């Protein structure tokens, strides 16, 4: 009898196949089309220039770094929970409240700013309003000590403007994702 003719043993159970791993590069989001990238960059830049112009007219710093990060989220990742109106507006207002609370309790220091950022993050998680730039809003308040009567209304107006431009920009380009995915 030849080796080829010998019966092969049949396993009782089939061995499970090892899961196939996708390459790490395959997990990154798809590269936007040139038109899509231009649209997102233009919309974000336009709203940031608008905030800078409003600040120049009223002689107040309306464009703060956390708002630039928020504009990037709203215009480049409009489907993320971080970019939704509830998170953008609510997150920044929570950050402002915590920032002023920590400033009153602990004064202006880097240590207090770090605590304010952590407390803001915890409250945003509890309130289901995740928006990481809002942690930076709390830090800005603790370190820069802006007057609340002027800062909070400007912050509210700026976040509403960011949301409004996100809505408008998503409707200008037909193939863009609709923003927002949800309001509340």
Of residues 89 and 17, which shows the higher confidence score?
89
Q: Is residue 50 scored above 60 in pLDDT?
A: yes
Q: What is the mean pLDDT of residues 173-181?
A: 86
Assess whether pLDDT exceeds 60 at residue 22: no
Contact 47, 162 (CB under 8 A): yes
Between CA 74 and CA 184, with CA 131 as vertex, the angle to 5 degrees is: 75
In the predicted model, is pLDDT for residue 4 greater than 60?
no
Q: What is the pLDDT of residue 24?
A: 56
Q: Tell me, what's the pLDDT at 109? A: 98
**The predicted structure's pLDDT at residue 46:** 95
Model pLDDT, residue 133:
97
pLDDT of the residue at 28: 79
- Structural domain boundaries in the chain: 37-172
Residue 150 tokens read as: 């002027």
pLDDT, residue 162, reads: 97
Question: CB within 8 A of 12, min separation 6: which ones?
Answer: none
pTM more than 0.95: no
141 touches 65 (CB < 8 A): no
Q: What is the pLDDT of residue 14?
A: 59
3-state secondary structure the chain: CCCCCCCCCCCCCCCCCCCCCCCHHHHCCCCCCHHHHHHHHHHHHHHHHHHHHHHHHHCCCCCCHHHHHHHHHHHHCCCCHHHCHHHHHHHHHHHHHHHHHHHHHHCCCHHHHHHHHHHHHHHHHHHCCCCCHHHHHHHHHHHHCCCHHHHHHHHHHHHHHHHHHHHHHHHHCCCCCCCCCCCC
Q: Which of residues 98 and 1 earns the better pLDDT score?
A: 98
């Amino acid at each position: 009898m030849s080796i080829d003719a010998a019966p092969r043993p049949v396993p009782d159970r089939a061995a499970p196949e090892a899961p196939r791993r996708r390459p790490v590069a395959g997990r990154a989001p798809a590269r936007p089309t040139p038109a899509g990238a231009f649209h997102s960059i233009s919309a974000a830049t336009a709203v940031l220039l608008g905030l800078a112009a409003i600040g120049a007219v009223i002689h107040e710093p309306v464009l703060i770094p956390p708002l630039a990060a928020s504009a990037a989220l709203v215009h480049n990742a409009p489907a993320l929970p971080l970019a939704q109106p509830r998170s953008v507006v609510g997150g920044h207002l929570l950050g402002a409240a915590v920032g002023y609370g920590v400033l009153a309790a602990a004064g202006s220091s880097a240590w207090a700013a770090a605590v304010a950022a952590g407390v803001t993050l915890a409250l945003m998680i509890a309130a289901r309003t995740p928006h990481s730039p809002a942690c930076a809003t709390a830090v800005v308040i603790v370190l820069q000590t802006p007057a609340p009567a002027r800062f909070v209304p400007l912050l509210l107006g700026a976040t509403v403007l960011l949301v409004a431009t996100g809505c408008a920009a998503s409707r200008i380009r037909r193939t863009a994702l609709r923003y927002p995915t949800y309001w509340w």
